[in-house]
């Protein structure tokens, strides 16, 4: 491990996690530099899908059981309220078929066999159930998976988008600091 000074980006994310008291971060499309997830403190544990598009970050060293990484997903098992809970992160590019990622998710769900789970995913699908004005075939396939495993969708129809584009600049909507909203 090198003793390099923290980057401004890693300092920002560290401040954010302290501010909102995060124990795990489920993310998609992280910044990857020379094959490694960048922009996070070096001491954090990081697990990623094979394609590095889905990650789980652990700032507090939970010591989870790591399930086999899939091409489009990664899962870890932790104890949550004294019960096993599997945390999954998944990503599906809008340029690829969503079925491969849905298969990865279904394999994780089958493996955990009725234990609690939380999935954080960016599957690039549109559906009325999560606020779009139309339902795409991709969105329908995602909704079918949600229904088949009796999961509950946590975002609501009236939720604001997780990002907006203004003059070709991404503006994140997850930061609690007023200067960033």
Please report, in tens digits, the pLDDT of each residue of the chain (181 residues total).
444 455 555 555 555 555 445 688 898 998 888 888 888 888 889 999 999 999 999 988 888 999 999 999 999 999 888 889 999 999 999 999 999 999 999 999 999 988 999 999 999 999 888 878 889 999 999 999 999 988 888 876 666 655 544 444 444 444 444 443 3
The C-alpha atoms of residue 95 and residue 59 are separated, in whole angstroms, by: 32
Query: Considering only the top CATH level, what class is 25-149?
Result: alpha beta
The angle at the Cα of 31, spanning 56 to 145, to the nearest 5 degrees, equals 45
pLDDT at residue 158, rounded to an integer? 67
Q: Rounded distance, CA 95 to CA 85, Å? A: 31
What pLDDT shows up at residue 173? 43
**H/E segment holding residue 28:** strand 25-28
For position 2, what pLDDT does the model report? 43
What is the pTM for the complete model shown?
Answer: 0.77
Q: Which two tokens stand for residue 91?
A: 């990503």
Cβ neighbours around 94 below 10 Å, total:
10
Position 40 scores a pLDDT of: 84
Q: What is the DSSP letter of 107?
A: H
* Residue for token pair 């930061």: 175
The gap from C-alpha 174 to its chain's centroid, in whole angstroms, comes to 13
List the chain domain ranges.
25-149
């Amino acid at each position: 491990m090198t003793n390099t000074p923290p980057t401004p980006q890693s300092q920002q994310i560290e401040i954010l996690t302290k501010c909102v008291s995060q124990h795990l971060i489920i993310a998609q499309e992280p910044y990857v530099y020379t094959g490694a997830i960048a922009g996070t403190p070096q001491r954090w544990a990081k697990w990623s899908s094979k394609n590095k598009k889905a990650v789980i970050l652990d700032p507090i060293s939970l010591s989870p059981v790591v399930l086999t990484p899939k091409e489009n997903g990664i899962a870890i098992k932790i104890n949550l309220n004294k019960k096993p809970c599997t945390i999954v992160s998944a990503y599906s590019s809008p340029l690829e078929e969503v079925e491969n990622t849905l298969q990865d998710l279904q394999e994780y769900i089958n493996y955990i066999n009725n234990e609690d789970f939380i999935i954080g995913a960016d599957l690039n699908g549109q559906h009325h159930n999560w606020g779009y004005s139309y339902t795409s075939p991709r969105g329908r396939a995602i909704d079918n998976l949600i229904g088949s495993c009796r999961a509950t969708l946590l975002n609501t129809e009236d939720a604001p988008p997780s990002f907006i584009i203004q003059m070709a600049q991404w503006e994140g909507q997850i930061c609690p600091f007023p200067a960033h909203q």
